[in-house]
Amino acid sequence: MDYKASEYLIPVFDYGVLHLELNTALFILVLFGIVVFALNGLLFRPVLRSLDNRTALVEGIQSENAAKEAEIERLAEEYRANLDRVREEVAQFRQENRRAASLEAESILAAARETTERELEAALATLETEMAGLRREALGNVERIAQQITQRVLER
């Protein structure tokens, strides 16, 4: 099969020694198709599949990260809420303890006042008793001195 190119195409494809014929072009085209088919099956598809898998993996990781960030934000809000609640409880506990301490201090002061008042009353009663005894003694001394004075005045 000898294909001859038309006379108009010969000057276009005539490169001297490298002269292009139709069967050479067809052979190169078929060889190019086989190479492209082989490279597609052996190189391009696995590489594209790897890139697709990698893209899917990256998207999965990004969605997991977004979900974990949302979970972290929710946990942070929960932590803040718990922290605020605990702070309120601590403030309430402190306030209750202050009230209890002030009530206890007031009861201790009241007891001390009562004890002091009783001791004061006892001391006043003792003082009145001693004063009454001293008055009687002073009256007795005054009477004795008056009698002595009277006797001396009468003796003179």
Tell whether 7 is covered by a domain: no
Residue 13 lies in a domain: no
Residue range 12-51, pLDDT digits in tens: 555 555 556 667 778 889 999 999 999 888 888 888 999 9
Mean local confidence (pLDDT), 48-75: 94
Structure confidence at residue 1 as a pLDDT band (50, 70, 90): very low
Residue 6 falls inside a structural domain: no
Number of domains in the chain: 1
pLDDT per residue over 76-109, tens digit each?
A: 999 999 999 999 999 999 999 999 999 999 999 9
For residue 98, what are the domain limits?
19-155
Written as one string, the DSSP assignment of the chain is ------TTTHHHHEETTEE--HHHHHHHHHHHHHHHHHHIIIIIHHHHHHHHHHHHHHHHHHHHHHHHHHHHHHHHHHHHHHHHHHHHHHHHHHHHHHHHHHHHHHHHHHHHHHHHHHHHHHHHHHHHHHHHHHHHHHHHHHHHHHHHHHHHHHH-
pLDDT in tens, 118-149: 999 999 999 999 999 988 988 888 888 988 88
Q: Is residue 3 part of a domain?
A: no
pTM of the predicted model as reported, rounded to 2 decimal places: 0.45
